[in-house]
Amino acid sequence: MVRSRLEARSILQKTGNDTVEGPVPLLKIAEDYMGCEVRLDDMGDVDGLCIPLPDPIIYINSRHCKARQRFSLAHEIGHLALRHQPEQIGRWEIEREANIFAGELLLPVLSVKRLACRMDYFDLAALFGVSTAAAQIRLNVLGLTPRRHRPGPSTALEATF
């Protein structure tokens, strides 16, 4: 799993996005850095799909929300960057590796560490164009606690009674 983190950090650094404070330009990374065509399509229940050879194409489900589409694109970029073979795709450990890569790519470690002290995961999610779940997982993985928390439904409910 260290390999996925290092590869994502390397791509962020090589593309000048390792300290970005906003959405990582995934389409630019896919097209310009990875040499990959990206297409949006109604794919039913499929989040994304990577066709690696000869010219890589990534399909992303057009029916999903932008945050889901961004995660799916980062995940599929991960399959390409990590040189996963088509017969490996779908295996639990390969998909987990692509997910870890996606988290690293979407929420750069240097940026998140700098911003976590003044933002909660809702703010980080909005800033980086990811889901609140992805932001919360990323903070947990990095061992960071955001400085301020918004009250959750149970806290808000308890405060009214």
Structural domain boundaries in the chain: 2-160
Instruction: Report residue 89's pLDDT band, with 50, 70 and 90 as the boundaries.
Output: confident
- Please identify, in words, the CATH class of the domain defined by 2-160: mainly alpha
pLDDT, average across residues 43-49: 94
pLDDT at 66: 97
With a cut of 50, say whether residue 156 has pLDDT above it.
Answer: no
Task: Give the contacts of 2 (CB within 8 A, at least 6 positions apart).
Answer: none
pLDDT at 154: 44
With a cut of 80, say whether residue 158 has pLDDT above it.
Answer: no
pLDDT at 85: 87
pLDDT at 76: 97
Give dist(CA 70, CA 65) in Å, integer: 9
With a cut of 90, say whether residue 161 has pLDDT above it.
Answer: no
Q: Which residue has the higher pLDDT, 105 or 152?
A: 105
**pLDDT one-digit tens code per residue, 139-149:** 999 998 876 55
With a cut of 90, say whether residue 36 has pLDDT above it.
Answer: yes
Handedness of CA 67, 69, 75, 77 (dihedral sign): negative
pLDDT at 148: 59
With a cut of 90, say whether residue 159 has pLDDT above it.
Answer: no
pLDDT at 117: 87
With a cut of 80, say whether residue 137 has pLDDT above it.
Answer: yes
**pLDDT one-digit tens code per residue, 100-114:** 999 999 999 999 999
Taking Cα atoms as reference points, which of 67, 27, 26, 68 lies closest to residue 45? 68
Q: Under a CB-based contact definition with an 8 Å cutoff, are residues 82 and 98 in contact? A: yes
